[in-house]
Each structure stands twice: as C-alpha cells, then as structure tokens.
C-alpha cells in the first residue's frame, strides 16, 4: 500500500493543475482584496443555554470576490497565512469588530462579548498586542468585552512564545478562547494559562450528540475538565433541539449554531437585540 501511495503522488492530474492555478490566481487577488474593500464581517450569535439569551457574537470574515462571488474563509485564510498577509487581515478584523461593538453599544443593545478569530502567525507576532490595544482604544471597547479565539492546533504550532503572548494579553485584560477544542492532539497544559478562560467544543463532537456514545463520552469529559478548571464552555455547531437539550443537561454554558442563528449582517444583530421602543 505504501508503494502505491508513493506512486500515486506522481500523477499530476488535470484537476490538480486546475486547483494549483486557482490557488495562484486567488493569491494574487487576495493581495488586493483589502485595498479594494472586498472583505466584510458577519456575526454569529452565541446564546446562554439556560435562557436562550444572546450574550456574545463571533466575527466571521467574508470575501466577496467581484467575479467569483463569496470565497469561503477555509479556502482563502490558509492562502493568506502562506503569503504572510494574515496579520494585516486579522488586524483589520479586530478593528472592524471593535468598531461594530461600539456601534451596537451606542444603539443601546445589551452588552455583548465580541469574539475574533486570530491565526497563529498573527498572535505570536510582537506587534499583535499593540494592535489589540489600538483596536480597543480607537473604539472605546473595554478589554473584557473582547475575546481572542485561537485554535488548539495554532497553540501547538506556536510553541514557546505562546505563554508570553498569553500573559501579555491577560495583563491587558483580554481573554482567550481555545477554538475547535478536542481536535488539536495537543497537551492540556496550556489550559492552565491565565488568559485561557473559554473552551469551544468543536462541532465534530456536537454533530454526534446524543446518539454517538463516543461523542457523548468525549463531550462530557471536556465539560468536566472545563468546569474543574473554572473555564467557560461554548459548544459549536448546534443544529438540533436534541443537541441543545443534551448540552444543557451536561452543563455546557453557551451554544452557537444554526439552531439559534447563522452568521448574519450587523443590521440583523441590531434588529434581533435592539431595545423595543417603549420597553
């Protein structure tokens, strides 16, 4: 089997050729996307499981390409990372998201937490902290309302600088969420870092609830670890009532998923949460 695999790599199919060409073109276009204003953010609510109240939103990046239409982040973020463009993009997202939170505050929406996804190379860069500070200062958003989401695998890749960056962020008053928790094959040691205050249970475990006994066992174990360390748990990708019911009973504090809302435009968040006239 090993031999066959190796041989298979030598076949350069027309499909691979087309994929490689597409990536090259996307890379060239990605360099101009920021200047051309082709990015925007959508926001996915996160609800408190017990009450159904929206307590937070996650900013998710969208690239509206003039000819291709919407390019999904799973496709362009890895390219942006390999081109060294991700720091600029993540900084733009941080700034926009904080500005948006300020606008919602001004419109007297309930005080939401704003979660922003950050790539490993952005987070571990020495300028990251001042970028966060700048976004907070410019918008007037208090640090404790901002949450930086880092994937478990990103933390693994960063190595020694992680701890320093985490402590600095913590000193600034900004907390970190471990995104896609359970998928990173890493040690659990970083859960002790003071900035880490949230665990996001990956959708791949939520999907199997409550039918899969493996997913049930893993999810319960993750919630137990989080609880004993005093971390706040957020389950991702909740699509059904039975997933919601299971997670609520298992003691998960917060949930995100299509069951509650897809990622939406800022106006939709405002419509959802704005104070009713006279109320």
Q: Which residues bind ligand C2E (CB under 6 A)?
A: 44, 60-61, 72-74, 77, 90, 93, 117-119, 149, 179-180, 236-239, 256-258, 263
| Overall residue count recorded for the chain in this entry | 279
- Answer with the entry of Ca ion, ligand C2E, none that 72 interacts with (C-beta below 5 to 8 A by kind): ligand C2E
Pick from ligand C2E, Ca ion, none: which does 44 bind, CB < 5 to 8 A by kind?
ligand C2E
Q: What is the nearest approach in angstroms of Ca ion to the Cβ of residue 208?
A: 16
Q: Which residue number, 177 or 218, has a Cβ lying nearer to ligand C2E?
A: 177
Picking from 202, 256, 203, 190, the residue whose alpha carbon sits closest to that of residue 229 is: 190
> Of 180 and 215, which CB lies nearer to Ca ion in the complex structure?
180
Give the torsion sign (CA, 205, 207, 210, 213): negative
Q: Which does 208 bind (CB under 5 to 8 A by kind): ligand C2E, Ca ion, none?
A: none
Site for Ca ion, residues 220 to 279, rule: CB under 5 A:
236
Find the binder of Ca ion among 29, 90, 152, 179 (CB under 5 A): 179
Taking the complex as a whole, the smallest distance from the CB of residue 7 to Ca ion amounts, in Å, to 33
Which residue, 95 or 256, has its beta carbon nearer to ligand C2E? 256
Give the nearest distance from C-beta 20 to Ca ion in angstroms.
24
Shortest distance, position 115 Cβ to Ca ion, whole Å? 7
Q: Which residue is nearest to ligand C2E (CB)?
A: 257
Q: Assess 91 for contact with Ca ion (CB under 5 A).
A: no
How far apart, in Å, are the Cα atoms of 143 and each of 8, 38, 163, 166, 223? 51, 28, 19, 14, 26
Residue 74 beta carbon to ligand C2E: minimum distance, rounded to whole angstroms: 5
Backbone φ and ψ for 124, nearest 5 degrees, come out as -85, -5
Q: Could you tell me which stretch among 6-14, 177-185, 210-218, 219-227 binds Ca ion (CB under 5 A)?
A: 177-185
- What is the C-alpha separation between 166 and 159, in angstroms, rounded? 12
- For residue 215, state whether it binds Ca ion (rule: CB under 5 A): no
Q: Give the per-residue SS3 of the chain.
A: CHHHHHHHCCCCCHHHHHHHHHHHHHHHHHHHHCCCCCEEEEEEEEEECCCCCEEEEEEEEEEEECCCEEECHHHHHHHHHHHCCHHHHHHHHHHHHHHHHHHHHHCCCCCCEEEEECCHHHHCCCCHHHHHHHHHHHHCCCHHHEEEEEEHHHHHHHCCHHHHHHHHHHHHCCEEEEEEECCCCCCCHHHHCCCEEEEEECHHHHCCCCCCHHHHHHHHHHHHHHHHHCCEEEECCCCCHHHHHHHHHHCCCEECCCCCCCCECHHHHHHHHCCCCCC
Which part of the chain contacts Ca ion (CB under 5 A), choosing from 17-25, 62-70, 110-118, 254-262?
A: 110-118
The residue among 107 and 211 lying less far from ligand C2E, judged by its C-beta, is 211
- Contact partner at residue 119 from ligand C2E, Ca ion, none, CB < 5 to 8 Å by partner kind: ligand C2E
Report the residue number, 29 or 76, with the smaller CB distance to Ca ion. Answer: 76
Asked if 117 touches Ca ion (CB under 5 A), the answer is yes
Binding region for Ca ion (CB under 5 A): 117, 149, 179-180, 236
């Amino acid at each position: 089997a090993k031999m066959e695999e190796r041989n298979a790599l030598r076949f350069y199919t027309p499909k691979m050729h087309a994929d490689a060409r597409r990536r090259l073109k996307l890379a060239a276009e990605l360099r101009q996307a920021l200047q051309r204003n082709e990015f925007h953010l959508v926001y996915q609510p996160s609800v408190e499981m017990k009450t159904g109240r929206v307590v937070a939103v996650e900013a998710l990046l969208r690239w509206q390409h003039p000819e291709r239409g919407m390019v999904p982040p799973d496709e362009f973020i890895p390219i942006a990372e390999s081109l060294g463009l991700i720091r600029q993009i993540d900084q733009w997202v941080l700034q926009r998201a904080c500005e948006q939170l300020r606008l919602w505050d001004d419109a007297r929406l309930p005080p939401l937490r704003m979660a922003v996804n950050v790539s490993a190379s952005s987070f571990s860069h020495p300028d990251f902290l001042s970028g966060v500070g700048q976004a907070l200062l410019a918008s007037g958003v208090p640090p404790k309302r901002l949450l930086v989401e880092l994937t478990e695998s990103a933390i693994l890749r960063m190595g020694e600088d992680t701890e320093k960056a985490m402590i600095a962020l913590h000193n600034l008053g900004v907390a970190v969420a471990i995104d896609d928790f359970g998928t990173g094959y890493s040690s659990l040691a970083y859960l002790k870092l003071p900035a880490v205050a949230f665990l996001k249970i990956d959708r791949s475990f939520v999907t199997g609830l409550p039918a899969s006994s493996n997913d049930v066992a893993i999810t319960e174990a993750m919630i137990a670890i989080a609880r004993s360390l005093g971390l706040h748990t957020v389950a991702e990708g909740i699509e059904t009532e039975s997933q919601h019911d299971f997670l609520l009973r298992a003691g998960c504090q917060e949930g995100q998923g299509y069951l509650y809302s897809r990622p939406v435009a800022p106006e939709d968040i405002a419509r959802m949460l704005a104070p009713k006239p006279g109320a």
